[in-house]
Amino acid sequence: MRAQSATRESPSATPKLSLRRLPLIFVKVGSIGFGGGMAIVSIMDHELVRKRRLLSLGEFLSGVGFGQILGSFAVNVSLFVGLPLTRVCPLGEPELRESGSRGRTTQLPGRSMGALVATVALMTPAAVLMLAISRQYERFVTTTMHNAFCPG
């Protein structure tokens, strides 16, 4: 009984976010995170561990360690961190079910949507910004000012 209450007190043991709320956090992180992977991970730490208490520090550091192994650091951390944050399937059904008499839980397939949503939401602000800048650059390249400044 005591172990169950300790499990409930850990930050990710209970449902915390829906798939509607999760991208808002990661779009915010992706929008204000400049300076590379470690800067973005620092903002994730502030938002998810310290401010909202959605993950324990140990869970978050596991995600950071995982992200350092594979490259594309901030994206991998968001992928790993997004997985335990979403405990509700897109249809609103519980994602964890009892398996056996010991009360262990089994991951259901819909749970991986949290990882996908977090990763796409993190990358969206940068992608939109790059599209806007590239469109303006195409217009600027054809101007006489650009041609006079950059001959050849």
Least Cα distance to 73 among 23, 113, 117, 39 occurs for 39
Spell out the residues 6+ positions from residue 85 whose beta carbon is closer than 8 angstroms to its own: 12, 16, 17, 22, 48, 54, 55, 114, 118
For each of the chain's 152 residues, which pLDDT tens digit applies?
444 434 334 444 544 677 788 899 999 999 998 777 888 889 999 998 999 888 889 988 888 888 888 777 788 888 888 877 765 444 444 443 444 445 444 444 556 788 888 889 999 999 999 999 998 888 888 888 888 888 76
Output the pTM of the full model. 0.68
State both tokens at 128: 């939109």
Sorted by where each begins, the domain ranges of the chain are 2-123
Whole-number pLDDT of residue 57: 92
Whole-number pLDDT of residue 86: 64
Residue with tokens 């259901």: 108
Burial (Cβ within 10 Å: 0-12, 13-18, ≥19) of residue 139: exposed
